[in-house]
A and B are shown apart, each in its own frame.
Chain A
Amino acid sequence: MASRDQFVIPKRYNTISLALMGVGIVSVLILLFSHGLSNDEHEQARFWASLLQNSVYFLLVVNASMFFICATTLAWGGWQMTFRRVPEAISTVVPVLGIITFLILMVIVFGGNHTIYHWTDEHHVMEDETLLHKKGFLNKTFFTVWSIITIGGWWFLGRKLRQLSRQSDAAPMSIEEGKRYIFKNTVWAGAYAALFGLTALSTTPWLWLMSIDAHWYSTMYSWYTFASSWVAGLALITIFVVYLKNNGYLEYTNREHLHDMGKFMFAFSIFWTYLWYSQFMLIWYANIPEETVYFKPRMQGVYRGIFLLNLVINFLAPLLILMKRGAKRNYGTITIMAVLIIFGHWLDFYQMVFPSISGDHVPFMLVDMGIGIGFVGIIMYVTARSLAKHPLVAKNHPFLKESIIHHT
Protein backbone atom coordinates (compact mmCIF):
# COMPACT_ATOMS: atom_id res chain seq x y z
CA MET A 1 0.00 0.00 0.00
CA ALA A 2 1.22 3.43 -0.78
CA SER A 3 2.37 5.49 2.15
CA ARG A 4 -0.59 7.28 3.61
CA ASP A 5 0.76 10.25 5.48
CA GLN A 6 -1.86 12.65 4.21
CA PHE A 7 -5.44 12.19 5.32
CA VAL A 8 -8.00 12.12 2.53
CA ILE A 9 -11.55 12.72 3.74
CA PRO A 10 -13.76 9.85 2.56
CA LYS A 11 -16.99 10.94 0.92
CA ARG A 12 -19.05 8.94 3.36
CA TYR A 13 -17.36 10.62 6.31
CA ASN A 14 -18.31 14.05 5.01
CA THR A 15 -21.88 12.94 4.39
CA ILE A 16 -22.16 11.58 7.91
CA SER A 17 -20.75 14.69 9.53
CA LEU A 18 -23.07 16.91 7.49
CA ALA A 19 -25.99 14.65 8.38
CA LEU A 20 -25.13 14.91 12.08
CA MET A 21 -24.98 18.68 11.78
CA GLY A 22 -28.38 18.50 10.08
CA VAL A 23 -29.74 16.53 13.02
CA GLY A 24 -28.35 19.25 15.29
CA ILE A 25 -29.97 22.07 13.34
CA VAL A 26 -33.31 20.25 13.20
CA SER A 27 -33.10 19.62 16.95
CA VAL A 28 -32.38 23.28 17.64
CA LEU A 29 -35.33 24.26 15.47
CA ILE A 30 -37.68 21.79 17.16
CA LEU A 31 -36.63 23.00 20.58
CA LEU A 32 -36.85 26.61 19.41
CA PHE A 33 -40.46 26.20 18.31
CA SER A 34 -41.51 24.10 21.27
CA HIS A 35 -39.81 26.18 23.96
CA GLY A 36 -37.59 28.97 22.68
CA LEU A 37 -40.35 31.06 21.13
CA SER A 38 -42.72 30.59 24.02
CA ASN A 39 -43.82 33.64 26.01
CA ASP A 40 -43.02 31.94 29.26
CA GLU A 41 -39.57 32.91 30.50
CA HIS A 42 -39.11 29.51 32.01
CA GLU A 43 -39.73 27.71 28.73
CA GLN A 44 -37.34 30.02 26.92
CA ALA A 45 -34.69 29.38 29.55
CA ARG A 46 -35.08 25.66 29.01
CA PHE A 47 -34.21 26.15 25.34
CA TRP A 48 -31.15 28.25 26.09
CA ALA A 49 -30.05 25.94 28.87
CA SER A 50 -29.86 23.09 26.40
CA LEU A 51 -27.74 25.17 24.03
CA LEU A 52 -25.59 26.34 26.94
CA GLN A 53 -24.98 22.81 28.20
CA ASN A 54 -24.09 21.40 24.79
CA SER A 55 -21.94 24.26 23.54
CA VAL A 56 -19.96 24.69 26.76
CA TYR A 57 -19.45 20.95 27.11
CA PHE A 58 -18.18 20.40 23.59
CA LEU A 59 -16.06 23.56 23.65
CA LEU A 60 -14.34 22.38 26.82
CA VAL A 61 -13.91 18.89 25.35
CA VAL A 62 -12.18 20.08 22.18
CA ASN A 63 -10.15 22.52 24.23
CA ALA A 64 -8.94 19.57 26.30
CA SER A 65 -7.08 18.45 23.16
CA MET A 66 -5.11 21.66 23.32
CA PHE A 67 -4.39 20.97 26.96
CA PHE A 68 -3.21 17.49 26.01
CA ILE A 69 -0.64 18.99 23.63
CA CYS A 70 0.34 21.58 26.20
CA ALA A 71 0.73 19.08 29.04
CA THR A 72 2.72 16.55 27.02
CA THR A 73 4.94 19.31 25.63
CA LEU A 74 5.65 20.74 29.06
CA ALA A 75 6.43 17.28 30.40
CA TRP A 76 8.82 16.74 27.47
CA GLY A 77 6.80 13.70 26.59
CA GLY A 78 7.73 11.95 23.40
CA TRP A 79 5.30 9.06 23.29
CA GLN A 80 2.45 11.05 21.76
CA MET A 81 4.45 12.32 18.77
CA THR A 82 3.18 9.70 16.33
CA PHE A 83 -0.38 10.92 16.68
CA ARG A 84 0.10 14.46 17.97
CA ARG A 85 -1.40 15.91 14.81
CA VAL A 86 -4.75 14.40 15.84
CA PRO A 87 -5.27 16.50 19.00
CA GLU A 88 -3.87 19.44 17.03
CA ALA A 89 -6.57 18.94 14.43
CA ILE A 90 -9.26 18.57 17.07
CA SER A 91 -8.14 21.82 18.65
CA THR A 92 -8.91 23.69 15.44
CA VAL A 93 -12.56 23.27 16.41
CA VAL A 94 -12.00 25.59 19.40
CA PRO A 95 -12.54 28.85 17.43
CA VAL A 96 -15.69 27.48 15.76
CA LEU A 97 -17.30 26.22 18.95
CA GLY A 98 -15.87 29.21 20.80
CA ILE A 99 -17.80 31.64 18.63
CA ILE A 100 -20.98 29.58 18.90
CA THR A 101 -20.64 29.33 22.67
CA PHE A 102 -19.86 33.02 22.99
CA LEU A 103 -22.95 33.99 21.00
CA ILE A 104 -25.14 31.72 23.13
CA LEU A 105 -23.65 33.13 26.34
CA MET A 106 -24.22 36.67 25.14
CA VAL A 107 -27.87 35.99 24.35
CA ILE A 108 -28.35 34.42 27.77
CA VAL A 109 -26.62 37.29 29.58
CA PHE A 110 -28.04 40.21 27.61
CA GLY A 111 -31.31 38.63 26.42
CA GLY A 112 -33.32 39.99 29.33
CA ASN A 113 -34.30 36.56 30.60
CA HIS A 114 -32.89 36.10 34.08
CA THR A 115 -33.98 32.52 34.67
CA ILE A 116 -30.58 30.98 33.91
CA TYR A 117 -28.26 33.66 35.30
CA HIS A 118 -30.14 35.33 38.18
CA TRP A 119 -27.29 37.72 38.70
CA THR A 120 -28.02 39.47 35.38
CA ASP A 121 -31.16 40.95 36.96
CA GLU A 122 -29.83 44.18 38.46
CA HIS A 123 -32.91 44.96 40.53
CA HIS A 124 -32.81 41.55 42.05
CA VAL A 125 -29.10 41.87 42.81
CA MET A 126 -29.66 45.13 44.72
CA GLU A 127 -32.00 43.33 47.11
CA ASP A 128 -29.94 40.18 47.42
CA GLU A 129 -27.08 40.54 49.85
CA THR A 130 -25.14 37.48 48.67
CA LEU A 131 -25.29 38.52 45.04
CA LEU A 132 -24.43 42.07 46.01
CA HIS A 133 -21.20 40.79 47.54
CA LYS A 134 -20.43 38.84 44.41
CA LYS A 135 -21.19 41.77 42.13
CA GLY A 136 -17.55 42.58 41.50
CA PHE A 137 -17.12 39.25 39.79
CA LEU A 138 -20.59 38.34 38.61
CA ASN A 139 -21.52 41.23 36.38
CA LYS A 140 -22.23 41.50 32.69
CA THR A 141 -19.13 43.51 31.76
CA PHE A 142 -16.67 41.23 33.46
CA PHE A 143 -18.46 38.18 32.12
CA THR A 144 -18.27 39.45 28.55
CA VAL A 145 -14.71 40.73 28.65
CA TRP A 146 -13.39 37.66 30.39
CA SER A 147 -15.22 35.31 28.02
CA ILE A 148 -13.67 37.13 25.06
CA ILE A 149 -10.21 36.91 26.63
CA THR A 150 -10.74 33.24 27.43
CA ILE A 151 -11.91 32.11 24.01
CA GLY A 152 -9.56 34.49 22.18
CA GLY A 153 -6.62 33.29 24.25
CA TRP A 154 -7.37 29.65 23.56
CA TRP A 155 -7.71 30.48 19.91
CA PHE A 156 -4.52 32.52 19.68
CA LEU A 157 -2.24 30.24 21.70
CA GLY A 158 -3.69 27.13 20.08
CA ARG A 159 -2.94 28.57 16.68
CA LYS A 160 0.59 29.47 17.79
CA LEU A 161 1.29 25.92 19.01
CA ARG A 162 -0.11 24.42 15.81
CA GLN A 163 2.03 26.73 13.70
CA LEU A 164 5.08 25.70 15.67
CA SER A 165 4.24 22.07 15.03
CA ARG A 166 3.97 22.65 11.28
CA GLN A 167 7.27 24.52 11.22
CA SER A 168 9.07 21.24 11.80
CA ASP A 169 7.72 19.82 8.53
CA ALA A 170 10.00 21.98 6.38
CA ALA A 171 13.38 20.35 6.82
CA PRO A 172 15.21 17.93 9.13
CA MET A 173 16.64 19.62 12.20
CA SER A 174 20.17 19.52 13.54
CA ILE A 175 20.59 18.81 17.24
CA GLU A 176 21.01 22.50 18.05
CA GLU A 177 17.98 23.47 16.00
CA GLY A 178 16.02 20.67 17.65
CA LYS A 179 16.90 21.96 21.11
CA ARG A 180 15.84 25.46 20.20
CA TYR A 181 12.64 24.11 18.66
CA ILE A 182 11.74 22.16 21.79
CA PHE A 183 12.51 25.20 23.94
CA LYS A 184 10.22 27.39 21.86
CA ASN A 185 7.47 24.79 22.09
CA THR A 186 7.92 24.61 25.85
CA VAL A 187 7.66 28.38 26.25
CA TRP A 188 4.43 28.63 24.26
CA ALA A 189 2.97 25.58 25.95
CA GLY A 190 3.85 27.21 29.26
CA ALA A 191 1.95 30.32 28.24
CA TYR A 192 -0.98 28.14 27.33
CA ALA A 193 -0.81 26.34 30.68
CA ALA A 194 -0.93 29.68 32.48
CA LEU A 195 -3.95 30.78 30.47
CA PHE A 196 -5.60 27.41 30.97
CA GLY A 197 -5.09 27.68 34.71
CA LEU A 198 -6.71 31.09 34.80
CA THR A 199 -9.61 30.09 32.57
CA ALA A 200 -10.72 26.48 32.21
CA LEU A 201 -9.30 25.45 35.59
CA SER A 202 -10.92 28.29 37.51
CA THR A 203 -12.93 31.17 36.15
CA THR A 204 -14.58 29.66 33.08
CA PRO A 205 -16.69 27.09 34.95
CA TRP A 206 -17.42 29.64 37.68
CA LEU A 207 -18.79 32.14 35.20
CA TRP A 208 -20.44 29.90 32.66
CA LEU A 209 -21.81 27.08 34.79
CA MET A 210 -21.52 27.68 38.51
CA SER A 211 -23.15 31.09 38.29
CA ILE A 212 -26.37 29.34 37.29
CA ASP A 213 -26.65 28.66 41.01
CA ALA A 214 -25.39 32.10 41.86
CA HIS A 215 -25.87 31.72 45.61
CA TRP A 216 -24.13 28.42 45.81
CA TYR A 217 -20.42 27.93 45.42
CA SER A 218 -17.95 25.11 45.59
CA THR A 219 -14.18 25.38 45.44
CA MET A 220 -14.00 21.97 43.78
CA TYR A 221 -16.31 22.95 40.95
CA SER A 222 -13.74 24.05 38.38
CA TRP A 223 -11.54 21.04 38.97
CA TYR A 224 -14.50 18.80 38.70
CA THR A 225 -15.61 20.41 35.45
CA PHE A 226 -12.07 20.25 34.14
CA ALA A 227 -11.77 16.56 35.00
CA SER A 228 -15.03 15.92 33.23
CA SER A 229 -14.06 17.68 30.02
CA TRP A 230 -10.48 16.42 30.13
CA VAL A 231 -11.38 12.75 30.31
CA ALA A 232 -13.96 13.25 27.56
CA GLY A 233 -11.31 15.08 25.52
CA LEU A 234 -8.93 12.14 25.90
CA ALA A 235 -11.73 9.83 24.78
CA LEU A 236 -12.29 12.02 21.72
CA ILE A 237 -8.60 11.88 20.77
CA THR A 238 -8.69 8.10 21.19
CA ILE A 239 -11.69 7.77 18.90
CA PHE A 240 -10.00 9.78 16.15
CA VAL A 241 -6.76 7.83 16.53
CA VAL A 242 -8.61 4.52 16.27
CA TYR A 243 -10.56 5.79 13.27
CA LEU A 244 -7.42 6.86 11.41
CA LYS A 245 -5.67 3.65 12.38
CA ASN A 246 -8.55 1.56 11.04
CA ASN A 247 -8.34 3.43 7.77
CA GLY A 248 -4.66 2.71 7.30
CA TYR A 249 -3.16 5.97 8.49
CA LEU A 250 -0.79 6.65 11.38
CA GLU A 251 1.49 3.74 10.60
CA TYR A 252 3.74 4.38 13.63
CA THR A 253 0.91 4.44 16.10
CA ASN A 254 0.17 1.07 17.61
CA ARG A 255 -1.30 -0.68 20.61
CA GLU A 256 1.37 0.75 22.87
CA HIS A 257 0.15 4.29 22.27
CA LEU A 258 -3.45 3.20 22.53
CA HIS A 259 -2.64 1.49 25.80
CA ASP A 260 -1.37 4.78 27.18
CA MET A 261 -4.48 6.63 26.04
CA GLY A 262 -6.51 3.91 27.74
CA LYS A 263 -4.49 4.39 30.92
CA PHE A 264 -5.19 8.10 30.75
CA MET A 265 -8.92 7.50 30.29
CA PHE A 266 -8.93 5.03 33.17
CA ALA A 267 -6.88 7.21 35.47
CA PHE A 268 -8.78 10.41 34.81
CA SER A 269 -12.12 8.66 35.23
CA ILE A 270 -10.92 7.84 38.74
CA PHE A 271 -9.65 11.41 39.09
CA TRP A 272 -13.05 12.72 38.10
CA THR A 273 -14.69 10.50 40.69
CA TYR A 274 -12.24 11.68 43.30
CA LEU A 275 -13.09 15.32 42.62
CA TRP A 276 -16.79 14.61 42.34
CA TYR A 277 -16.70 12.84 45.67
CA SER A 278 -14.56 15.50 47.34
CA GLN A 279 -17.14 18.08 46.40
CA PHE A 280 -20.03 15.91 47.45
CA MET A 281 -18.75 14.50 50.72
CA LEU A 282 -17.80 17.77 52.40
CA ILE A 283 -21.20 19.23 51.60
CA TRP A 284 -22.93 16.05 52.74
CA TYR A 285 -20.95 15.98 55.98
CA ALA A 286 -21.31 19.63 56.93
CA ASN A 287 -24.99 19.62 55.96
CA ILE A 288 -25.26 23.39 55.72
CA PRO A 289 -28.47 24.44 53.94
CA GLU A 290 -26.90 26.96 51.57
CA GLU A 291 -24.53 24.28 50.34
CA THR A 292 -26.82 21.27 50.29
CA VAL A 293 -29.27 23.21 48.14
CA TYR A 294 -27.20 22.13 45.13
CA PHE A 295 -27.55 18.43 45.86
CA LYS A 296 -31.17 18.49 46.99
CA PRO A 297 -32.80 18.20 43.54
CA ARG A 298 -29.98 16.01 42.26
CA MET A 299 -29.85 13.44 45.04
CA GLN A 300 -33.32 13.42 46.47
CA GLY A 301 -35.32 15.07 43.76
CA VAL A 302 -36.31 14.05 40.27
CA TYR A 303 -32.73 14.03 39.01
CA ARG A 304 -31.78 11.10 41.21
CA GLY A 305 -31.74 8.65 38.30
CA ILE A 306 -29.47 10.80 36.14
CA PHE A 307 -27.30 11.53 39.16
CA LEU A 308 -26.71 7.85 39.86
CA LEU A 309 -26.43 6.87 36.18
CA ASN A 310 -23.74 9.52 35.91
CA LEU A 311 -21.71 7.74 38.59
CA VAL A 312 -22.23 4.33 37.02
CA ILE A 313 -21.16 5.43 33.53
CA ASN A 314 -18.31 7.69 34.54
CA PHE A 315 -16.89 5.75 37.44
CA LEU A 316 -17.97 2.13 37.69
CA ALA A 317 -17.85 1.32 33.98
CA PRO A 318 -14.35 2.71 33.28
CA LEU A 319 -13.07 1.30 36.57
CA LEU A 320 -14.22 -2.23 35.93
CA ILE A 321 -13.92 -2.42 32.14
CA LEU A 322 -10.74 -0.43 31.51
CA MET A 323 -8.87 -1.97 34.43
CA LYS A 324 -7.63 -4.93 32.41
CA ARG A 325 -4.57 -4.47 30.26
CA GLY A 326 -6.23 -6.36 27.42
CA ALA A 327 -9.17 -3.96 27.37
CA LYS A 328 -6.92 -0.94 26.97
CA ARG A 329 -5.12 -2.57 24.06
CA ASN A 330 -8.25 -3.67 22.26
CA TYR A 331 -9.42 -1.24 19.57
CA GLY A 332 -13.07 -2.26 19.97
CA THR A 333 -13.30 -2.04 23.74
CA ILE A 334 -11.44 1.23 23.94
CA THR A 335 -13.68 2.81 21.28
CA ILE A 336 -16.86 1.70 23.01
CA MET A 337 -15.55 3.00 26.32
CA ALA A 338 -14.52 6.29 24.72
CA VAL A 339 -18.01 6.81 23.31
CA LEU A 340 -19.54 5.85 26.64
CA ILE A 341 -17.28 8.29 28.50
CA ILE A 342 -18.13 11.15 26.14
CA PHE A 343 -21.82 10.42 26.60
CA GLY A 344 -21.39 10.01 30.36
CA HIS A 345 -19.77 13.39 30.79
CA TRP A 346 -22.36 14.96 28.56
CA LEU A 347 -24.85 13.62 31.09
CA ASP A 348 -22.67 15.04 33.86
CA PHE A 349 -22.92 18.49 32.31
CA TYR A 350 -26.65 17.95 31.87
CA GLN A 351 -27.07 17.49 35.60
CA MET A 352 -24.84 20.50 36.26
CA VAL A 353 -27.09 22.78 34.23
CA PHE A 354 -30.66 21.59 34.34
CA PRO A 355 -31.63 20.96 37.99
CA SER A 356 -31.19 24.66 38.76
CA ILE A 357 -33.41 25.68 35.86
CA SER A 358 -36.10 23.09 36.24
CA GLY A 359 -35.97 21.65 39.73
CA ASP A 360 -39.36 19.96 39.93
CA HIS A 361 -39.25 17.83 36.79
CA VAL A 362 -36.62 16.57 34.35
CA PRO A 363 -37.29 18.36 31.06
CA PHE A 364 -35.25 15.86 29.11
CA MET A 365 -36.13 15.53 25.44
CA LEU A 366 -34.31 13.58 22.75
CA VAL A 367 -33.62 16.87 20.96
CA ASP A 368 -31.26 17.79 23.80
CA MET A 369 -29.15 14.88 22.66
CA GLY A 370 -29.84 15.87 19.06
CA ILE A 371 -28.19 19.22 19.66
CA GLY A 372 -25.21 17.38 21.11
CA ILE A 373 -25.09 15.23 17.99
CA GLY A 374 -25.02 18.40 15.93
CA PHE A 375 -21.97 19.55 17.83
CA VAL A 376 -20.37 16.15 17.25
CA GLY A 377 -21.00 16.72 13.54
CA ILE A 378 -19.23 20.08 13.68
CA ILE A 379 -16.29 18.52 15.50
CA MET A 380 -16.07 15.70 12.92
CA TYR A 381 -16.30 18.06 9.98
CA VAL A 382 -13.78 20.66 11.12
CA THR A 383 -11.32 18.12 12.52
CA ALA A 384 -11.26 16.10 9.30
CA ARG A 385 -10.69 19.20 7.19
CA SER A 386 -7.81 20.21 9.39
CA LEU A 387 -6.38 16.69 9.41
CA ALA A 388 -6.43 16.61 5.61
CA LYS A 389 -4.48 19.85 5.34
CA HIS A 390 -1.19 18.71 6.83
CA PRO A 391 0.88 15.52 7.02
CA LEU A 392 -0.40 13.25 9.78
CA VAL A 393 3.02 12.71 11.33
CA ALA A 394 5.49 15.47 12.18
CA LYS A 395 8.34 13.51 10.66
CA ASN A 396 11.16 15.86 11.64
CA HIS A 397 10.17 16.34 15.24
CA PRO A 398 13.13 15.54 17.54
CA PHE A 399 11.02 13.26 19.73
CA LEU A 400 9.46 11.21 16.94
CA LYS A 401 11.80 8.26 17.33
CA GLU A 402 11.03 8.05 21.01
CA SER A 403 7.40 7.66 20.06
CA ILE A 404 8.01 5.06 17.36
CA ILE A 405 9.91 2.77 19.72
CA HIS A 406 7.49 3.51 22.54
CA HIS A 407 6.78 0.49 24.67
CA THR A 408 4.56 0.25 27.69
Chain B
Amino acid sequence: MAIKKFVVGSFYDEQVLFPAVKAVRKSGYKIHDVYTPFPIHGLDTAMGLRDTSLHTAGFIYGITGTSVAFSFITWAFTTDWPLNVGGKPFFSLPAWIPIMFELTVLFAAVGMVLTFCYLCQLAPFVKKDHFNLRATDDTFVMAIEVTDRTNVAEAQSFLTSLGAQDVVLTEKETGWWIGRYDKRQQLLSTDPQTAL
Protein backbone atom coordinates (compact mmCIF):
# COMPACT_ATOMS: atom_id res chain seq x y z
CA MET B 1 0.00 0.00 0.00
CA ALA B 2 1.06 3.44 -0.75
CA ILE B 3 2.36 5.65 1.97
CA LYS B 4 0.69 9.01 2.13
CA LYS B 5 1.62 12.17 3.91
CA PHE B 6 -0.83 14.12 6.01
CA VAL B 7 -0.73 17.54 7.55
CA VAL B 8 -2.49 17.11 10.88
CA GLY B 9 -3.83 20.00 12.91
CA SER B 10 -5.37 19.73 16.35
CA PHE B 11 -8.12 22.04 17.53
CA TYR B 12 -9.35 22.42 21.07
CA ASP B 13 -12.59 24.19 20.35
CA GLU B 14 -15.60 23.24 18.25
CA GLN B 15 -16.21 26.90 17.49
CA VAL B 16 -12.74 27.19 15.94
CA LEU B 17 -13.00 23.90 14.09
CA PHE B 18 -16.11 24.76 12.06
CA PRO B 19 -14.80 27.91 10.32
CA ALA B 20 -11.44 26.15 9.88
CA VAL B 21 -13.08 23.21 8.07
CA LYS B 22 -14.91 25.63 5.79
CA ALA B 23 -11.79 27.71 5.12
CA VAL B 24 -9.64 24.65 4.39
CA ARG B 25 -12.18 23.31 1.92
CA LYS B 26 -12.50 26.70 0.30
CA SER B 27 -8.76 26.97 -0.25
CA GLY B 28 -8.81 23.70 -2.12
CA TYR B 29 -6.99 21.45 0.32
CA LYS B 30 -8.11 17.85 0.41
CA ILE B 31 -9.45 17.02 3.85
CA HIS B 32 -8.78 13.36 4.55
CA ASP B 33 -11.02 13.32 7.62
CA VAL B 34 -11.85 15.14 10.82
CA TYR B 35 -11.70 13.15 14.05
CA THR B 36 -13.76 14.34 16.99
CA PRO B 37 -14.32 12.97 20.50
CA PHE B 38 -18.09 13.12 20.05
CA PRO B 39 -20.50 13.42 17.12
CA ILE B 40 -20.88 17.02 15.99
CA HIS B 41 -24.12 18.05 14.34
CA GLY B 42 -23.57 19.71 11.01
CA LEU B 43 -19.90 18.80 10.65
CA ASP B 44 -20.71 16.35 7.85
CA THR B 45 -22.42 19.14 5.94
CA ALA B 46 -19.52 21.50 6.57
CA MET B 47 -17.07 18.88 5.32
CA GLY B 48 -19.18 18.27 2.25
CA LEU B 49 -19.59 14.58 2.92
CA ARG B 50 -22.29 12.85 0.93
CA ASP B 51 -25.21 11.30 2.81
CA THR B 52 -24.42 7.87 4.13
CA SER B 53 -25.92 4.95 2.26
CA LEU B 54 -26.18 2.99 5.48
CA HIS B 55 -29.94 3.47 5.65
CA THR B 56 -30.42 2.17 2.14
CA ALA B 57 -28.48 -0.92 3.16
CA GLY B 58 -30.66 -1.11 6.28
CA PHE B 59 -33.81 -0.99 4.18
CA ILE B 60 -32.57 -3.82 1.99
CA TYR B 61 -31.64 -5.93 5.01
CA GLY B 62 -35.05 -5.24 6.53
CA ILE B 63 -36.90 -6.26 3.39
CA THR B 64 -34.74 -9.38 3.24
CA GLY B 65 -35.68 -10.22 6.83
CA THR B 66 -39.39 -9.79 6.09
CA SER B 67 -39.22 -12.00 3.02
CA VAL B 68 -37.16 -14.67 4.75
CA ALA B 69 -39.60 -14.85 7.65
CA PHE B 70 -42.64 -14.78 5.40
CA SER B 71 -41.43 -17.39 2.96
CA PHE B 72 -40.06 -19.73 5.60
CA ILE B 73 -43.18 -19.68 7.78
CA THR B 74 -45.38 -20.05 4.73
CA TRP B 75 -43.42 -23.07 3.60
CA ALA B 76 -43.26 -24.59 7.08
CA PHE B 77 -46.89 -24.11 8.00
CA THR B 78 -48.57 -24.82 4.70
CA THR B 79 -46.32 -27.35 2.98
CA ASP B 80 -43.80 -28.92 5.27
CA TRP B 81 -45.67 -29.40 8.52
CA PRO B 82 -49.24 -28.05 8.50
CA LEU B 83 -50.65 -27.74 12.01
CA ASN B 84 -54.22 -27.15 13.02
CA VAL B 85 -54.08 -24.32 15.54
CA GLY B 86 -57.49 -23.57 16.97
CA GLY B 87 -59.16 -24.36 13.68
CA LYS B 88 -57.48 -21.46 11.93
CA PRO B 89 -56.43 -21.77 8.30
CA PHE B 90 -52.91 -23.00 7.66
CA PHE B 91 -52.12 -19.75 5.94
CA SER B 92 -52.78 -17.35 8.84
CA LEU B 93 -51.04 -14.10 8.11
CA PRO B 94 -51.95 -12.26 11.36
CA ALA B 95 -50.12 -14.87 13.44
CA TRP B 96 -46.97 -14.45 11.37
CA ILE B 97 -46.73 -10.70 11.45
CA PRO B 98 -44.91 -10.54 14.82
CA ILE B 99 -42.29 -12.99 13.54
CA MET B 100 -41.98 -11.10 10.26
CA PHE B 101 -41.53 -7.90 12.23
CA GLU B 102 -38.91 -9.43 14.52
CA LEU B 103 -36.90 -10.81 11.65
CA THR B 104 -37.09 -7.49 9.84
CA VAL B 105 -35.65 -5.77 12.88
CA LEU B 106 -33.04 -8.47 13.48
CA PHE B 107 -31.78 -8.50 9.91
CA ALA B 108 -31.76 -4.72 9.67
CA ALA B 109 -30.02 -4.25 13.01
CA VAL B 110 -27.33 -6.89 12.64
CA GLY B 111 -26.77 -6.09 8.99
CA MET B 112 -26.44 -2.40 9.67
CA VAL B 113 -24.00 -2.92 12.54
CA LEU B 114 -21.79 -5.10 10.36
CA THR B 115 -22.03 -2.66 7.45
CA PHE B 116 -21.21 0.18 9.81
CA CYS B 117 -18.13 -1.65 11.05
CA TYR B 118 -17.07 -2.31 7.48
CA LEU B 119 -17.57 1.32 6.44
CA CYS B 120 -15.65 2.56 9.46
CA GLN B 121 -12.94 -0.05 8.88
CA LEU B 122 -13.47 -1.64 12.25
CA ALA B 123 -12.90 -5.33 12.72
CA PRO B 124 -11.82 -7.62 15.51
CA PHE B 125 -8.05 -7.67 16.10
CA VAL B 126 -7.49 -4.59 13.96
CA LYS B 127 -5.89 -2.03 16.14
CA LYS B 128 -6.64 1.38 14.76
CA ASP B 129 -4.05 4.05 14.94
CA HIS B 130 -4.92 7.69 15.42
CA PHE B 131 -3.51 10.81 13.96
CA ASN B 132 -3.70 12.14 17.47
CA LEU B 133 -4.74 9.96 20.38
CA ARG B 134 -6.42 12.89 22.08
CA ALA B 135 -9.09 12.77 19.37
CA THR B 136 -10.75 10.22 21.65
CA ASP B 137 -10.67 12.61 24.57
CA ASP B 138 -10.83 16.36 24.08
CA THR B 139 -9.24 17.29 20.78
CA PHE B 140 -10.64 17.83 17.32
CA VAL B 141 -8.18 16.55 14.75
CA MET B 142 -8.18 17.53 11.11
CA ALA B 143 -6.04 15.58 8.66
CA ILE B 144 -5.24 17.17 5.30
CA GLU B 145 -3.93 14.83 2.66
CA VAL B 146 -0.71 15.98 0.99
CA THR B 147 -1.09 15.63 -2.76
CA ASP B 148 1.35 16.52 -5.55
CA ARG B 149 0.14 20.08 -5.57
CA THR B 150 0.14 20.65 -1.85
CA ASN B 151 2.74 22.98 -0.46
CA VAL B 152 3.33 21.44 2.95
CA ALA B 153 4.82 24.47 4.63
CA GLU B 154 2.00 26.64 3.34
CA ALA B 155 -0.63 24.17 4.51
CA GLN B 156 0.97 24.03 7.92
CA SER B 157 1.06 27.77 8.36
CA PHE B 158 -2.49 28.02 6.98
CA LEU B 159 -3.75 25.57 9.59
CA THR B 160 -1.92 27.44 12.31
CA SER B 161 -3.47 30.70 11.18
CA LEU B 162 -6.91 29.06 11.43
CA GLY B 163 -6.34 28.27 15.08
CA ALA B 164 -4.86 24.76 15.05
CA GLN B 165 -2.73 24.23 18.13
CA ASP B 166 -0.11 21.76 17.03
CA VAL B 167 0.36 21.13 13.35
CA VAL B 168 2.47 18.15 12.34
CA LEU B 169 3.35 16.30 9.18
CA THR B 170 2.85 12.53 9.46
CA GLU B 171 2.94 9.55 7.18
CA LYS B 172 0.43 6.77 7.07
CA GLU B 173 -0.21 3.72 5.00
CA THR B 174 -3.49 4.15 3.17
CA GLY B 175 -6.12 1.59 2.28
CA TRP B 176 -8.31 -0.57 4.38
CA TRP B 177 -5.70 -0.92 7.07
CA ILE B 178 -4.88 2.72 7.36
CA GLY B 179 -2.93 3.48 10.49
CA ARG B 180 -2.39 0.06 12.00
CA TYR B 181 -0.22 0.11 15.10
CA ASP B 182 2.17 -2.58 13.96
CA LYS B 183 2.82 -0.84 10.66
CA ARG B 184 3.29 2.43 12.46
CA GLN B 185 6.35 1.21 14.29
CA GLN B 186 7.92 0.45 10.94
CA LEU B 187 6.87 3.79 9.53
CA LEU B 188 8.43 5.68 12.36
CA SER B 189 11.55 3.61 12.41
CA THR B 190 14.78 5.28 11.28
CA ASP B 191 16.43 1.95 10.67
CA PRO B 192 16.57 1.42 6.89
CA GLN B 193 16.21 -2.33 7.45
CA THR B 194 12.72 -2.14 8.94
CA ALA B 195 11.47 1.06 7.32
CA LEU B 196 9.05 0.48 4.48
Contact = CB atoms under 8 A, between A and B. Distances in A.
The judgment on whether A and B are partners is yes
Interface of A: 277, 280-281, 284-285, 287, 323, 325, 407-408
B86 A277 contact: no
B65 to A, nearest CB: 15
B17 to A, nearest CB: 15
Contacts of B97: 277, 281
A134 B86 CA distance: 31
B42 interface: yes
B59 interface: yes
A281 B42 contact: no
A280 B41 contact: no
A84 B167 CA distance: 46
A220 to B, nearest CB: 15
A407 B94 contact: no
Contact of A323 (B41, B59, B88, B98): B59
B191 interface: no
Contacts of B86: 285, 287
Contact of B42 (A280, A323, A407): A407
B41 A407 contact: yes
Given A287-B86, A407-B41, A407-B42, A325 B51 contact: yes
B59 A285 contact: no
B67 to A, nearest CB: 16
A109 B42 CA distance: 57
Contacts of A284: 94
Interface in B78-108: 86, 88, 94-95, 97-98
Contacts of A407: 41-42
A277 B95 CA distance: 11
Given A280-B94, A281-B95, A285-B86, 5 more contacts: A281-B94, A281-B97, A287-B86, A323-B59, A407-B41
B109 to A, nearest CB: 16
Interface residues of B, number: 11
A43 B193 CA distance: 99
Nearest to A281: B94
Contacts of B95: 281, 285
Interface in B30-58: 41-42, 51, 55
A281 B92 CA distance: 11
B101 to A, nearest CB: 9
Nearest to A323: B59
B89 to A, nearest CB: 12
A325 B44 CA distance: 15
B183 to A, nearest CB: 37
Contacts of A280: 94
Nearest to B95: A285
A222 to B, nearest CB: 22
18 contacts: A277-B97, A280-B94, A281-B94, A281-B95, A281-B97, A281-B98, A284-B94, A285-B86, A285-B94, A285-B95, A287-B86, A287-B88, A323-B59, A325-B51, A325-B55, A407-B41, A407-B42, A408-B41
A268 B23 CA distance: 41
Contacts of A281: 94-95, 97-98
Nearest to B92: A284
A33 B86 CA distance: 49
A281 B86 CA distance: 14
